[in-house]
Each structure stands twice: as structure tokens, then as C-alpha cells.
Amino acid sequence: MAVTGFYPGSFDPITKGHLDIISRSARMVDELVLAVGVHHGKTPFLSAQERVGLLERIAVPVIRDAGAAGSVVTFDGLVVDAARKSSARIMIRGLRDASDFDYELQLAGMNRTMARDIETVFLAASPETRFIASSLVKQIAKMGGDITEFVPSEVAEVIAERFGN
């Protein structure tokens, strides 16, 4: 039986930390679905279309290089409903530190109650990417700083065009 993994996030913007988790999780599944959360009450840094396009260009080849099929979807409801729609059996979550663990453990418990057929798998961030957070990348970019060490070059270019950096 083929195993589909589901990696949800805002990916706003996609970072080298995301790519680390994507690459490693793609080696554990037959198919990895990257799910861009679209929350209508929030103003994103990059549009959903930009995030999907960047993931398709940057992350899907990483998934294929790891030997899995890859795709990108958007969702705006419950993550477990989106995972089921993608026929996922595994939900992938990345952990940077203890505060991530506490929050993600709560989410996993709630998701498990709503969807007993979907198992949450936590992957610890690699030491090289543990400190990277999309929120900090956005803050640096908005203040004119260099984000090239934290995001793929194509993402840095898109953001530089947006902010004139």
C-alpha cells in the first residue's frame, strides 16, 4: 500500500528549514503533499499563488529527488479534512525547539481525536536550520536585511523584488 504524507504550513515564505523537513520526510513516504494554509483573516507576506508556485518550482523537485511523488495543494479549513482529501495517512510536522514541541503536541492530540486514521510524525529540525523561522525571515526582509542564508535563492529574489532590497 502506498503511503501519502501531508506536510501543512503557511510556507510564508518557504525557508531552508522547510526544505530540510521536506527532503527528509519525502524519503519516508511514497507521495508527499505540501499543503499551503490559506487563512482569510490573515494578510500573508506572499500570496497563496506565489507560495504554491515557489513550492512547485523549488520543493517538488526535492521530493522527486528523494524518490517520492510530490504535489502542492491549498486548504482553508481543518488540516485533518485537507489531509483526508489528499488520502494522507501521515501528517508531517517539523520541530525547532521545545516551544514548537509543546504547541505541536497539543495540535497532534486534537487532530488525533478528530482523525484517528491519520498519524502525526514529528521531525526535529537539522542543527543547521533549527534557528530559521519564517516570521524572522519576514521581519529581516521588511527591514531591508539579507535573507539569502535562510531561504532558497528563488525565494530571496521574489522577496527582494517585492521590497526593493
Provide the annotated active-site residues. Answer: 18, 42, 96, 134
Cβ neighbours, 10 Å, residue 94: 22
Contacts of 35 (CB under 8 A, 6+ apart): 6, 7, 8, 9, 72, 73, 74, 75, 79, 82, 83, 86
How far is Cα 85 from Cα 79, in angstroms, rounded to an integer?
10
Amino acid at 29: V
How far is Cα 22 from Cα 124, in angstroms, rounded to an integer?
12
